[in-house]
A and B are shown apart, each in its own frame.
Chain A
Amino acid sequence: MSTITISGVTRRYPGAKTAAVDNLDLDIADGEFLVLVGPSGCGKTTSLRMLAGLEGIDDGTIHIGDRDVTRLAPSKRDVAMVFQNYVLYPHLTVAENIGFHLMIRKTPKAEIQRLVKDAAALLDITEHLDRRPAKLSGGQRQRVAMGRAIVRQPQVFLMDEPLSNLDAKLRAQTRVQISTLQRRLGVTAVYVTHDQVEAMTMGDRVAVMDGGVLQQCDTPRALYERPANVFVAGFIGSPQMNLIGAKVDGNGASNGTLTVPLSAAQRSNLSSGEVTLGLRPGSLTVTDHGPVRAEVEVVEETGADAYVYCTADLGDGPTHLVVRCPSRAFPAKGERIGLAVTDPDIHVFDGVTGRRVEH
């Protein structure tokens, strides 16, 4: 059983005011693919390294299965890690690189050869086994790095932004390969990335972190549809969700001509008269009679859709909004348009705490 239980784990760097990781609690199921995502410095890599044992833990415990690994050396935790830079030994061949850990553990040569061959076959790099890493392309190197992790048959895979050194197209391909591989091997995996698209497409669950604190850990769908706070709402989804400040009044929450109704439950759960409204680009439509007036700045066409970036005159001053339009019917640059809120499901966040307020 390779579940992972992270309990109250904290890490403070000497001399830093805030903790790099603050009181992290995560329960990862056996065979789950969990993604840690967040902006630079949010503590995701530190958390991963603490799991690996490469970073000390100041507070809290980590269990893999029922073993308490908090104070165990990295090599005793039965985890394998794929580093961001792959860490391929330039003086060793691909085969030697893959078998490196086995060689260190003094596994018999014949068995190393067998395991390496199997891993190479799985990753489709058998033809490169006798080459040096310098002669491989980025994607091939990435697979060698994965090979070294796989060949150890560990309980847990840890991956630290393994795709960030690849170009966009290769990244998309490799994403699929990694997901498929993990599902096939059934090994619990913890994956760190700063790219929310990667997180959403690969993870069984995604843990969003910011400033060392876990913001929300949920399935991608839940994160998208019910973000727990303003940060998660703004982080997940591309283009970014429109976040608009509003004041509570008789009709609901309003900012200028934009008004959104509030339920009684919502009203009672607010800590002040200020809210933040979250509207996905798809929640707004361009209509001539829309209550909100705006001027189009830029239109980005992605082929399937068109995203209209406009500036609206709301009560507090100009607000930048993004609206999704069909690919064949969108306003032109400089045009003055009207916007209406068409989605009944609008995210409301407490203006002070940033927390989601449910209907």
Chain B
Amino acid sequence: MNIAQRDKITRRPASQEAPLSRGAFQVVGTVTIWIWVGFNALLLIWVAVASLKDSTAIFSQSKAFSLPSAPQWANYANAWVDSSIGRAFFNTLGVVVIASVVVVAISAPAAYALSRFSTRAASPMTSLFAIGMGIPLQATVIPIFVGFQGVGLVNSLTGLTLVYIAAQTPFTVFLLTGFFRSLPFELEEAAAIDGASVLRSFREIMLPLAKPGLITALTLNIVFLWNETALVLYLVQDDTKFTLGRSLLNLATVATYTSNWGAMFAGCVIVVAPVLLTYILLGRRITEGMTLGAAK
């Protein structure tokens, strides 16, 4: 049995292995963590429950903690149609999917070239992209806004999509560069000996191998852009073009006047549900992707 195998087997709590005192810290820590986790779960459930309650019951003194007597699905219809969450949903879907696909499509070749070509420009270029991750949107949005005004891209989902692509490029290139670097070089050399062109070797050998990395990049982009509301706040004032976050914000603001809390929480559920689903299905990719850069 080699060390790795033995490591797996002997992974038992320290307290069983040899008399070590984990003591007070562990107890306090464990309790704190479970309370925290409980709070998170509870909040999620609460919002979901609130979405099915009658609006008057949500903040009322007596009914705040209780379950609804009859689930008010009307809240969802209300949110979807009357408050245009439905339209925002499709706006968001379109923008996010297109932007994510394009950003991965342009970042993959770039990352490939940066990680495996030996030109002099490779290293400074990599750094250039890396810096991009640190540029806050506050430093770019004003010229973009004005520029878009000039070409009619304000209040346009197309404009938003273009900005999203650019904004996510640095991170995606960074992520994929790290990923491509980890793939073996010998495959391409073998392909070259067999006479494959660079393009072909990229398409037929590298891309399939890189699939997990690409899916991770795609997932992370989708999740991040799904929630992106800042740029929408700057660039889109036409409410028919709102994305989900923006639309929900609107809904919440309006709700302070109309007290339509039920619909507001239904809107929350609509926004969160796809992310929750993605997290359940692709959670491992998300967590691995996020730690890939850090723990390289």
Contact = CB atoms under 8 A, between A and B. Distances in A.
Instruction: Answer yes or no: A and B touching, Cβ < 8 Å.
Output: yes
Interface of A: 13, 40-41, 45-46, 53-56, 71-74, 84-85
Contact of B18 (A41, A45, A53, A85): A53
A45 B4 CA distance: 13
Given A40-B2, A56-B12, 16 more contacts: A13-B10, A40-B1, A41-B1, A45-B1, A45-B6, A53-B18, A54-B17, A54-B18, A55-B10, A56-B17, A56-B18, A71-B19, A72-B19, A73-B18, A73-B19, A73-B20
Nearest to A15: B9
B16 interface: yes
Interface in B131-154: none
A53 B12 CA distance: 14
**Those 4 A-B pairs whose CB atoms lie nearest each other, nearest first:** A41-B1, A73-B19, A53-B18, A13-B9
A46 B16 CA distance: 16
A33 B10 CA distance: 28
24 contacts: A13-B9, A13-B10, A40-B1, A40-B2, A41-B1, A45-B1, A45-B6, A46-B6, A54-B17, A54-B18, A55-B10, A55-B17, A56-B12, A56-B16, A56-B17, A56-B18, A71-B19, A72-B19, A73-B18, A73-B19, A73-B20, A74-B18, A84-B3, A85-B3
Contacts of B6: 45-46
Question: DSSP majority for the A interface?
Answer: loop
A68 to B, nearest CB: 14
Nearest to B5: A41
Contacts of A71: 19
Interface in B258-294: none
Interface string B107-126: 00000000000000000000
Q: How large is the interface on B (under 10, 10 to 19, 20 to 34, 35 or more residues)?
A: 10 to 19
A189 to B, nearest CB: 21
Nearest to A77: B18
B277 to A, nearest CB: 35
A116 B206 CA distance: 52
Contacts of A13: 9-10
Contacts of A40: 1-2
A152 B201 CA distance: 57
Interface string B3-37: 10010011010001111100000000000000000
Nearest to B19: A73
A86 B140 CA distance: 52
A210 to B, nearest CB: 13
Contacts of B16: 56
Interface centre among B1, B16, B20 (most CB of A within 10 A): B1
B58 to A, nearest CB: 50
Contacts of A74: 18
B3 to A, nearest CB: 7
A72 B19 CA distance: 7
A213 to B, nearest CB: 15
Nearest to B20: A73
B114 to A, nearest CB: 27
A310 to B, nearest CB: 35
B9 to A, nearest CB: 5
Interface centre among B2, B10, B16, B18 (most CB of A within 10 A): B18
A53 B14 CA distance: 12
B1 to A, nearest CB: 5
B120 to A, nearest CB: 28
A71 B2 CA distance: 26
B11 to A, nearest CB: 11
Contacts of B1: 40-41, 45
Contacts of A41: 1
A72 B20 CA distance: 10
Contacts of A84: 3
Interface in B177-197: none
A307 to B, nearest CB: 30
Nearest to B17: A56
A267 B283 CA distance: 69
Contacts of B20: 73
Nearest to B16: A56
A2 to B, nearest CB: 20
A73 B21 CA distance: 10
Nearest to A84: B3
